[in-house]
Structure 1
Amino acid sequence: MGEVDQVAAGPRLRRPTRQTVKGYWTDVVNAWRVPAVKRGLLATSLLFVGSLTPAYLPQNSPWWEPIRALGWDTWPAKVIGTALVVTAVVLLVSAWFRLRPGLYLDFKHWAVGLIWSLPLLLAPPIFSHDAYSYAAQGWLLHNGLNPYETPVSVLPGAFADQVSWVWRYTAAPYGPLSLQISHLMVVLGGLNPYYSTLLMRIPALIGVVLIVYFLPRLAVRLGADAQLAAWFSTINPLLIIDLVGGMHNDALMIGLIIAALYLTHRRPELFWLGAIVIGVAAAVKQPALLAAYPVALIGLPWQWNTQHVLNKIARAAIASVIAVATFAAISVATGLNFGWMNAIDVPGRVVTLAPLSLLGEGIRLLCVMAGRPELGTQIAGGLLVAGVVASAVIVAYLAVTVARRRPVTFLSWSYLVVALLGPAMHSWYLLWGGLLLPLTRPTERVQRVAVVVTSVLLGYGAGNLAWRNDTGIALGLAGLALIITLLVRYLDEHRGTGDHR
Structure 2
Amino acid sequence: MLTLRAEQVRDAWRINHVRRGFFGTVLITIGSFTPAYLPQASPFWPAMRALKLDNPVAEIIGTGLVLAGVALLVSAWFRLRPWGDDRMVEAYRHVRHWAVLIIWGGPFVLAPPIFSHDAYSYAAQGWLVHNGINPYEQGPGVLPGGFADQVAWVWRFTPAPYGPLSLQLQHFLVDLVGHDPYISAVVMRVPALVGVALIGALLPRLAARMKIDPASAAWFATLNPVLVIDFIGGAHNDALMMGLVVLALWLTRIVGWGWVPGAVIIGVAAAIKQPALLAAYALPLVHRPWRRLELGETLDIIARAMAAMTLAIGTFAGVSWLTGLGFGWLNAVNVPGLVVTVSPFTVIGQALSWVFDVVGWQSGAEGAVRWSRSVGLLTSVAIVGTLAVTVARRRPMTFLSYSYLAVAICAPALHSWYVLWGGLLLPLAKPSPKAIRVAVWATVVLLSYAAINLAFRNGALSLGVAAIGLYFWQSRTEDLKAQRRHRRAARQREKQRNAP
- With the shorter chain as reference, the TM-score category is over 0.9
2:375 corresponding residue in structure 1: 386
The reply on whether 1:211 has 2:192 as its aligned counterpart is no
The reply on whether 1:21 has 2:10 as its aligned counterpart is no
| 344-353 or 384-393, larger mean C-alpha shift | 344-353
Which stretches in structure 1 are left out of the alignment for 5+ residues? 1-19
Q: Map Cα deviations across residues 221-251 of structure 1 (whole Å, 9 max, x no partner).
A: 0111211111011111000100000000000
The 2-side partners of 1:247 and 1:368 are apart by 40
Question: Which one of 326, 335, 339 corresponds to residue 346 of structure 1?
Answer: 335
Which residue identity is paired with 1:307?
Answer: G
Displacement, 1:316? 0.3
1:189 corresponding residue in structure 2: 177
The reply on whether 1:117 has 2:105 as its aligned counterpart is yes
1:177 corresponding residue in structure 2: 165
The 2-side partners of 1:115 and 1:33 are apart by 11
**Length, aligned pairs only:** 481
The reply on whether 1:92 has 2:73 as its aligned counterpart is yes
Change in Cα spacing, 1:371 to 1:123, as seen in structure 2 (3 Å) is: farther
* 8 Å Cα contact 1:249/1:285 also seen in 2: yes
| 48-57 or 252-261, larger mean C-alpha shift | 48-57
Which residue identity is paired with 2:16?
Answer: P
Q: Map Cα deviations across residues 408-458 of structure 1 (whole Å, 9 max, x no partner).
A: 111001000111111111000000000111111111111111110101111
Q: Map Cα deviations across residues 52-73 of structure 1 (whole Å, 9 max, x no partner).
A: 0133211111111111111111
Q: Map Cα deviations across residues 277-330 of structure 1 (whole Å, 9 max, x no partner).
A: 000000000000000011122222422210100000000000000000000000
* 8 Å Cα contact 2:80/2:92 also seen in 1: no
The reply on whether 1:337 has 2:326 as its aligned counterpart is yes
1:395 corresponding residue in structure 2: 384
Displacement, 1:24? 0.9
Displacement, 1:373? 4.2
* 8 Å Cα contact 1:207/1:256 also seen in 2: yes
* 8 Å Cα contact 1:353/1:424 also seen in 2: yes
Question: Which one of 293, 298, 313 corresponds to residue 304 of structure 1?
Answer: 293
The reply on whether 1:453 has 2:442 as its aligned counterpart is yes
Q: Map Cα deviations across residues 88-112 of structure 1 (whole Å, 9 max, x no partner).
A: 0111100111111337622111011
2:20 corresponding residue in structure 1: 39
* 8 Å Cα contact 1:89/1:459 also seen in 2: no
Q: Map Cα deviations across residues 10-50 of structure 1 (whole Å, 9 max, x no partner).
A: xxxxxxxxxx2222111111100001111111111111110
Displacement, 1:371? 4.4
2:455 corresponding residue in structure 1: 466
The 2-side partners of 1:364 and 1:486 are apart by 36
1:79 corresponding residue in structure 2: 60
What is the correspondence of 1:372-451 to structure 2 with a 5 Å cutoff? 372-451=361-440
Which residue identity is paired with 2:411?
Answer: G
Which residue identity is paired with 1:418?
Answer: V
* 8 Å Cα contact 1:225/1:439 also seen in 2: no
The 1-side partners of 2:98 and 2:445 are apart by 25
The 1-side partners of 2:360 and 2:155 are apart by 29
What is the correspondence of 1:490-501 to structure 2 with a 5 Å cutoff? 490-495=478-483, 497=486
SS class of match (1:475): helix
The 1-side partners of 2:47 and 2:211 are apart by 53
TM-score normalised to structure 2 length: 0.94
The 1-side partners of 2:336 and 2:35 are apart by 24
Displacement, 1:365? 3.1
Which residue identity is paired with 1:149?
Answer: E
The 2-side partners of 1:133 and 1:345 are apart by 16
* 8 Å Cα contact 1:416/1:434 also seen in 2: yes
* 8 Å Cα contact 2:401/2:426 also seen in 1: yes
The reply on whether 1:365 has 2:354 as its aligned counterpart is yes
The 2-side partners of 1:126 and 1:221 are apart by 34
Q: Map Cα deviations across residues 251-284 of structure 1 (whole Å, 9 max, x no partner).
A: 0000000010000000021211000000000000
Which residue identity is paired with 1:382?
Answer: W
The reply on whether 1:288 has 2:288 as its aligned counterpart is no
Change in Cα spacing, 1:261 to 1:104, as seen in structure 2 (3 Å) is: farther
* 8 Å Cα contact 1:398/1:410 also seen in 2: yes
* 8 Å Cα contact 2:195/2:244 also seen in 1: yes
Question: Which one of 54, 58, 62 corresponds to residue 35 of structure 2?
Answer: 54
The 2-side partners of 1:166 and 1:371 are apart by 30
The 1-side partners of 2:135 and 2:189 are apart by 20
Change in Cα spacing, 1:300 to 1:333, as seen in structure 2 (3 Å) is: same
The 2-side partners of 1:59 and 1:153 are apart by 14
The reply on whether 1:132 has 2:120 as its aligned counterpart is yes
SS class of match (1:145): coil
The 2-side partners of 1:96 and 1:55 are apart by 28
The 2-side partners of 1:382 and 1:494 are apart by 43
Q: Map Cα deviations across residues 184-214 of structure 1 (whole Å, 9 max, x no partner).
A: 1111121111110000000000000000000
Displacement, 1:494? 2.5
Q: Map Cα deviations across residues 106-164 of structure 1 (whole Å, 9 max, x no partner).
A: 21110111011111111111111111111111111000010011111111111111111
1:226 corresponding residue in structure 2: 214
TM-score normalised to structure 1 length: 0.94
Tell me which protein shows more helix as a share of its residues: 2
* 8 Å Cα contact 2:35/2:53 also seen in 1: no
Which residue identity is paired with 1:94?
Answer: S
